[in-house]
Structure 1
């Protein structure tokens, strides 16, 4: 399948057809949409600006992979203007929902509007390359405004920050989703303090975790014949085994700010190792996201 990307894409031009047949209703809970910049201006410029990765390409990829539902996460590429994600939700035939980026000062009317048009949560970043939206105590206090709307909190942080953030996040008034397995360094193994802290956090039923980003947390050396995500897969498998009802999977398409461009078909096939049996995969890909994000179809 040729997705006809621009000259310097952040996604695989011809993703491998996955060998794994996904269960009906399978959901990709973590993607972004970029552009087209001519219609949806970027909030970044220069080398930080990725090539367009529009909704039409995303829809085509999901048809190719056998994915029928999706959660689009607003990216800092488009800043706090959620229009690009809202547009993709609106054209997704009820099968696409979203997570927004908003300032802590956003008014209640706008939060309620976002909830009505298909946004199920709000994301805050604690990453070095992204400007922080606020302090953790302010963000936890903000969750009291999300609770009446049925929206959750999603957080993306450097792995070492889990030790500082765990306590405050446990005071959230709404469920908390941890992005990309807490961005742990998978090469350090499952016994490392950061991953141990994530597992401890997950014992609290308030939390969910995305077993996405196996390609980001696994070591990769330029010049490798093919990426080996074994260490990331191993951590994802631990989380799915220990917390089967509170794990969510996502492809993290497209793939900017990366060491390489992953093959999305290979990311799907990695699910045979992350969730080795069909029943577990059905829970991870269908039941968990259906119940948590409240898809209507």
Structure 2
């Protein structure tokens, strides 16, 4: 077992249900076969040595962020959340969620996750997120970055890109989608989650074809990278990753102690404001 530094953060995971208490949205683009309640998440993080955590609201619960809110409320010092919200959400609700430990809003640009919000509306919301110290989080297919890159550069708040932009590991580091991500990151406004190697890989565990993407981002932008295991791995097309193996692979991404501290502790502390 890899010994992670004190305060290590799992910056990307989800909670589902339990459905008897937190119903799935009637128009949800997917409904999990099994619930993934906060107790299971707590047990996993505790076993792996992940003291801190960011719960990302799932599309299966729609705009009802109650399950994520409930998880954070149980561990208010060490857990934070990212909301799913309509772009015209009221400022009062934003302030309420901020007090509950939410730190950003996620927008999906993946076809299987429903309709997409126009970028102009997202940026209009971002101007209202800025006083709260929140950020945007974007999850999209590789083509999304290229199509929205110029507009995203105008964001008044940080923009976090999920799962290394969902690049295809088989296409190599020089593929246009990954070059676009590297160019966005060079602007200083962007952050990226070094998660989803299992989704990018075409060779399977231990994802040797995807590891170079994470290392390239770590090497160039060590102060704006985050790590998460994406538990419980919703809509996963391949074998579900082994959680212990994902943790062991962290030291392949950040082999030096100072890099590990940045990735797992300092960067999430700065973005999500734990404590």
Shorter chain as denominator, the TM-score bin is over 0.9
Aligned equivalent of 1:250, options 207, 224, 228 = 228
Is the CA contact 2:88–2:125 (under 8 Å) kept in the aligned structure 1? no
Q: Distance in 2 between matches of 1:45 and 1:100?
A: 17
Aligned equivalent of 2:71, options 81, 88, 94 = 88
C-alpha displacement at 1:47, in angstroms? Answer: 9.9
Counterpart mapping for 1:134-283 below 5 A: 134-220=117-203, 227-258=205-236, 259-283=238-262
Is the CA contact 2:13–2:229 (under 8 Å) kept in the aligned structure 1? yes
Aligned equivalent of 1:97, options 68, 74, 80 = 80
Q: Structure 1 residues 201 and 253 mapped into 2: Cα distance closer, same or farther (>3 Å)?
A: same
C-alpha displacement at 1:167, in angstroms? Answer: 0.6
Moved more, 190-199 or 129-138: 129-138
Gaps of 5+ in 2: none
Gaps of 5+ in 1: 1-18, 222-226
Supply the RMSD in Å over aligned alpha carbons: 1.5
Partner of 1:34: 16
Q: Structure 1 residues 269 and 201 mapped into 2: Cα distance closer, same or farther (>3 Å)?
A: same
Q: Distance in 2 between matches of 1:262 and 1:255?
A: 8
Is the CA contact 1:98–1:118 (under 8 Å) kept in the aligned structure 2? yes
Q: What CA deviation, in whole Å up to 9, does each residue of 1:33-79 have, x standing for no partner?
A: 00101100012689932110000000000111000001100000111
> Which 4+ runs in 1 deviate beyond 4 A?
44-47
Partner of 1:48: 30
Moved more, 76-85 or 126-135: 126-135
Is the CA contact 1:104–1:133 (under 8 Å) kept in the aligned structure 2? no
Q: Structure 1 residues 167 and 45 mapped into 2: Cα distance closer, same or farther (>3 Å)?
A: closer
Is the CA contact 1:122–1:153 (under 8 Å) kept in the aligned structure 2? yes
Q: Distance in 2 between matches of 1:104 and 1:48?
A: 21
